[in-house]
Structure 1
Amino acid sequence: MARKDKDVSEKKPRWYKLVWQAYTFTRSQNPAITWQILGIIVGIIALGFGFGFAVHQVAFWGALSIPLGLLAGLMFLTNRFTKAQYAALDGEIGASRAVLGTLGKVWTFAEEPVAIDAKTQDIVFRGVGRPGIVLIGEARISRIQKLIADEKRRLARAVKEVPVTVLVVGDREGQVPLSKLPKTVRKLKPKLTKAEVGEVERRLRALGGMQLPVPKGMDPTRARISRKDVR
């Protein structure tokens, strides 16, 4: 039993290792991050000591400013780490599915896309939640609207009464930037009960997934295409 607990603890990374990994990754995207963090920490500590001198409580405010400075630096790193992740994913095939994994159990997104354009590598992912069904399109060119229209016709055969929201990821007018995608999906208003969501998921499983082959150049580790679809 002790050996089992030891193995579990060894597999779980320490918090400081996670912080270091976040720092090194962010630094690869933003080389100035080290000086930015140090500037925030030193600045807050200096303000704390300065205020302490002004009110004649140097020890108290000086001691308080040190953990506050470290906390502010960590929060700044977390913010920049998130932005660096989005920047690294932006433009990659399957990036929208990767960031939607942060939504937790509120939404269910299939690992595989439901539609792919073999020529342009435009892809569409499908999710189900209390707001209904959401189709997430990754558009290289405007022809993705045909993929979305085809998928909506498929859905109409199985879940005609369920509301369908379409979001196209990109930086063009009318599209949703990758960094704002999770927040945009979270803002959708609930329209189904939990029981209705379960029924919709059951019907979609019966409807099946993508029937197209994987296009040439597709990265299967990102799009997570099943071997059945490849065959």
Structure 2
Amino acid sequence: MANPSSDDLLNATPPTGRLAQFGYAYKLTKRLDPKVTIAMLGWGLGAAAVVFALLYLLVGGSIFGLVIAIVLALMFGVLAATTTLSRRVQRAQYKQIDGQPGAAYSVLDSDRRFKRNWALTPMVQFNRQQDMVHRLIGTGGIVLLAEGDPARVKPLIANERKAVARYLGPDVAVDEIVVGPDEAAGQLPLPKLASTLTRRGLRKKNLTSMQASEYSKRLEAIASKTGPMANLPKGPLPKGARIPRGGMR
């Protein structure tokens, strides 16, 4: 019997049982990351071996000590394997959507840690080529997050900087981040995006909570509620999708 394709797995309804969910995540990840099995075995067996050796030395060579060492070693080994799978699942998801329009927004919109410290307004600027700029406001400051061709997003960032200065004042600091694989050119890779912004939101206090809330509400009140953004779907845009003409730059 033929194995189900990755499309079949993606379109199938995810199982509800914990073991079934584990198996589903493993099969789906293996389609995109063939080394996931080796990684899980390596981390799982390595953690089990280290824990067993330490406990055996501490507890001693009695039967009771041996049983305790084996049980705890197995528990830590399983924990290490499942943690490895979880990280590989996330990495496979990033790999699957990386480069698609709206990928950065999709990553941030699904990250609960990020949402605790930031208000995210998607696609405040965009063009016909589906390059786009999202606006973030939080205690970490105001950040314009661009995704797309680095050269084409520059005028989009400049337009949004002017808009923020016009409505909030020229003295309000605005930072920018361009999502992309070229770290040497100052871009931020998609897998590092959520963690970088989460750390910034926790550690960097450029705005007070009241300032962040006020700025966010002021810009949201100015933005059109019935404009071309209203009907755009969340997450990466499907291939071939067109951005409404009214919002093009």
Q: TM-score, normalised by structure 1?
A: 0.78
Q: CA RMSD in A?
A: 3.2
1:202 maps to which residue?
A: 217
Q: Residue 43 of structure 1: CA displacement? A: 4.3
Task: Determine if the alignment matches structure 1 residue 163 to structure 2 residue 173.
Answer: yes
Task: Determine if the alignment matches structure 1 residue 177 to structure 2 residue 185.
Answer: no
Secondary structure of 1:91's counterpart equals: coil
Change (3 A) 1:17 1:157: farther
2:163 maps to which residue?
A: 154
Aligned residues: 214
User: Which amino acid in 1 is paired with 2:123?
Assistant: P
Q: Deviations over 1:175-230 (max 9, x none)?
A: 1111111222234311222221121112101221599868xxxx845357998968
Change (3 A) 1:44 1:203: closer
Contact 1:133 1:163 (8 Å CA) reproduced: yes
Change (3 A) 1:144 1:43: closer
Q: TM-score, normalised by structure 2?
A: 0.73
Contact 2:106 2:234 (8 Å CA) reproduced: no
Change (3 A) 1:203 1:82: same
Q: Distance in 1 between the 2:173 and 2:224 partners?
A: 19
Task: Determine if the alignment matches structure 1 residue 108 to structure 2 residue 119.
Answer: yes
1:127 maps to which residue?
A: 136
Contact 1:113 1:210 (8 Å CA) reproduced: no
Percent identity of paired positions between Structure 1 and Structure 2: 31
Task: Determine if the alignment matches structure 1 residue 36 to structure 2 residue 39.
Answer: yes
User: Aligned runs of 1:1-231 on 2, under 5 Å?
Assistant: 13-46=16-49, 55-56=60-61, 57-101=65-109, 102=111, 103-110=114-121, 112-118=122-128, 120-160=129-169, 161-172=171-182, 173-188=185-200, 189-208=204-223, 220-222=233-235
Name whichever of 18-27 and 149-158 sits farther off.
18-27
Q: Distance in 1 between the 2:245 and 2:151 partners?
A: 29
User: Which amino acid in 1 is paired with 2:119?
Assistant: T
Q: Deviations over 1:107-151 (max 9, x none)?
A: 1112x3111111x32111111111221110012241211110011
Runs of 4+ in 1 over 6 A off after TM superposition: 51-54, 224-228
User: Which amino acid in 1 is paired with 2:187?
Assistant: Q
Q: Distance in 1 between the 2:191 and 2:224 partners?
A: 27
Contact 1:113 1:223 (8 Å CA) reproduced: no
Gaps of 5+ in 2: 1-14
User: Which amino acid in 2 is paired with 1:29?
Assistant: L
